[in-house]
Structure formats: C-alpha cells, structure tokens
Amino acid sequence: MRVLVLRPRTAGERTAARLRARGHEAVLAPVTAIAPLDAPPPAGPFSAVLVTSPSAFAAPIPDGLKELPLLAVGGRTAEVARGRGFRNVESADGDRHALVAHAAQRLPAGARLLLVQGRDHKEDTAALLAAAGLTPVPWIAYAAETLPALSESAASALGEGRIDAVLHYSRRSAETALALAEAAGLARPFLAGLQVCLSADVAEPLVRAGAARIVTAAEPQEEALFAALGD
C-alpha cells in the first residue's frame, strides 16, 4: 500500500523505514514541526520526571534531572530518554492513563513530579495524576508548530489518487491534516483512503469529516497501528 505519514519529519522518517520493511510505500507529509520553547523547568525537588511523548526531548533538559527516575508513556519515549542520558527509565507501555496508573503504583503518595508536556497537550493529564494522589508540576517544554501546507509529494499523490491509507498518531495532527487537505482542495482524496488511527479519540475528527473507512489500533502503540493497517 501507499501510505501517507503525517508525523513530524524525524519521527516520520523512522515510521517510513518501518513501513518499507513491511512492503509498503511511504509518502511523508509532516503537518507539524517540533520546536523547543524557552521556558526553563520549574524548580525542584522532584521525585521523578514524567514524559508523554518523545518530542519532549527536543527541549534541553538539565543534567540534574537525568539523575531522577523517568516514567515514559511508551517504549519509544523510553528509548529516546535513555539516548538522552537518563539512566533510570521505565515505560508504561500505553497511553496517558497507563502512565498515570504506573506512576501511582511506582511512587509514594504526594510525590512531586515534573510533567514534561507540549504546548498542545491533553488537558486532563495533570488532573488524573492529582486524582491518583500525586503532585504534578507541568513544564511546557516544546511546541508542535503547524506547517503552512501539505508537502509537494503528498499533494501530488493525493491529487493523482495514489494514496491508499493515512496513518494518524494524534488527534491534533488528524485535524491539522484535514484542514491542510481542505485548503489545497484535496479533502475528498484524503478522506477516501483507509484512515488508520492510534485511538478512538484520534479518529473522532475523521468520523465527523465523513471518512468512510476508519480502523483503530487495538492499543496505543505503533505496532498495533501497523497491525490495523494490515499487509
């Protein structure tokens, strides 16, 4: 299949390589670019660092924080954390709910946690941690900046009806891609492909837009997303 990949370029290139290894053709169409923000981390002390995306590591992280346990939402985020010098890394192997559950089990009640987030993030993560008896301290460390248009290769492939499927990793990127496709007059071919979504929440804007073929991964992991895509 010819698959449209909407992820930021570095992550998209990694996904494209994995798709090619499975016999698919990937068309890169990043709709956002990850940029670090200037805000320094809040003052500690902290019991642990919580990270909900590999994009968090676009921001410079002080060496002192790397001595703390880091709880990552999933395996890829944990892998990147280790590559950035964190030595005590654990993965919740799921979504933000799994991360909250893991933190509540792993850390003492009332533990003060540095929650590294992007400017556009799930609003309930900090509240879920607080409800679990923990003390999250958010740090807005990076932003996913919207790009002005679809890539030329993506627009060409869509215009010629050559896209079989679209991979969706986040609700925001799905919404952004829809808006860019509409602006380019390519909404119909964009929605005609199989929409492969990481979760029901990610799929929701595609449902509203009238996409006829939507599948959702069994769990919020890239392997499950590829399984939903099929061969």
Q: Residue with structure tokens 């002005």?
A: 148
Task: Provide the pLDDT for residue 50.
Answer: 97
| CATH for 2-31+147-229, options being 3.40.50.1370, 3.40.50.150, 3.10.20.30, 3.40.50.10090 | 3.40.50.10090
Q: In sequence order, which ranges of the chain are alpha helices (DSSP H)?
A: 9-21, 75-83, 96-106, 125-131, 152-159, 171-183, 187-192, 200-209, 222-229
Domain spans, the chain: 2-31+147-229, 35-144
Tens-level pLDDT at each residue, the chain (231 residues): 999 999 999 899 999 999 999 999 999 999 999 999 989 999 989 999 999 999 999 888 999 999 999 999 988 899 999 999 999 999 998 889 999 999 999 999 999 999 999 998 877 899 999 999 999 999 999 998 999 999 999 999 999 999 999 999 999 999 999 999 999 999 999 999 999 999 999 999 999 999 989 999 998 888 999 999 986
Distance CA 27, CA 85 (A): 32
Answer yes or no: are the C-beta atoms of 216 and 200 closer than 8 Å: yes
Q: What would the two tokens of residue 37 be?
A: 């923000």
Distance CA 176, CA 149 (A): 10
Report the CATH number of the 35-144 domain: 3.40.50.10090
pLDDT of residue 59: 87
How far apart (Å, rounded) are the C-alpha atoms in residues 156 and 125? 38
pTM for the complete prediction?
A: 0.82
